[in-house]
Copies of this chain bind each other. A is one copy, B any other.
């Protein structure tokens, strides 16, 4: 495995040049685009790493499935799906056109920004600080990494430039989807996006999902298998933005990407995978990261379909 990872990283290191780091959040533009790293944590507890596996980057959209897990733990399934839809696409069999994002006055699913903001508003806590700390504590626990923290510069940058997200949050507020204060909800959302992790942390979370909620080190059940199924379903159907369909064909495993350059993957009963490559393709996914995962999937026969 180690040899395979080294070969793959070595092979695709150069393809980072075909992508570009996210520039809509000014802080992210400062990232070195040539980085590429991978961590694989298998369900027997073995960790393999290669390349820039120790570099910290912000989770961005990868926080969506993780915070969804916590929201399910905090509220139960019924309450969560009062606020957000269940469908990747919402394609009624007879529609010609339709709103994509909002349906029956709730966001389509928890992987799009509007849905993720709805979900953030559901995290327990009386203040944004309490909610954010609750998210941080949860991520520390599932990654076995106490050093997890927020990148304050990225957070401030997201807060200053997040007009589109602010627009969506007020739209949600307007029809009663968000019950609390909009600015406080956005503080939680922007901060969860700004949590820094390494590929190792992502591999740990992926492996926990691969065991449907049973911690690999302690063997403790951290959440019901049902919540794991929910989260992995979204990763599989709409975890890679506009590239989800192509990823399902080429790689074929549940995965979630973020514009920070990370991708978190999970393969049932086998492994979690974390990849980092901040140079993105036009759809917002790591350019080299996709190549790495495609090759890994072929070599290890990971495709679940």
Contact = CB atoms under 8 A, between A and B. Distances in A.
Interface of A: 24, 61, 85-102, 108-109, 111-114, 163-164, 166-171, 173-174, 182, 229-230, 232-238, 241-246, 248-249, 252, 254, 259, 268, 283-284, 303-305
Given A170-B163, A254-B305, A305-B236, A284 B93 contact: yes
A109 B90 CA distance: 13
Contact of A232 (B87, B112, B232, B305): B305
B90 A88 contact: no
B238 A252 contact: no
A88 B163 contact: no
Given A101-B96, A233-B245, A238 B170 contact: no
Given A229-B252, A245-B109, A245-B234, A174 B170 contact: no
Contacts of A246: 86-87
A209 B95 CA distance: 29
A265 B273 CA distance: 28
Residue among A111, A169, A284, A304 with most chain B CB within 10 A: A304
Copies of this chain assembled into the complex: 4
Contacts of A85: 245
Contacts of A98: 100-101
Nearest to A182: B163
A94 B245 CA distance: 18
24 contacts: A61-B93, A85-B245, A86-B249, A88-B238, A89-B100, A89-B237, A90-B242, A91-B112, A92-B241, A94-B113, A96-B164, A100-B100, A109-B245, A163-B173, A167-B167, A167-B169, A229-B303, A230-B249, A233-B248, A233-B249, A235-B305, A236-B305, A304-B304, A304-B305
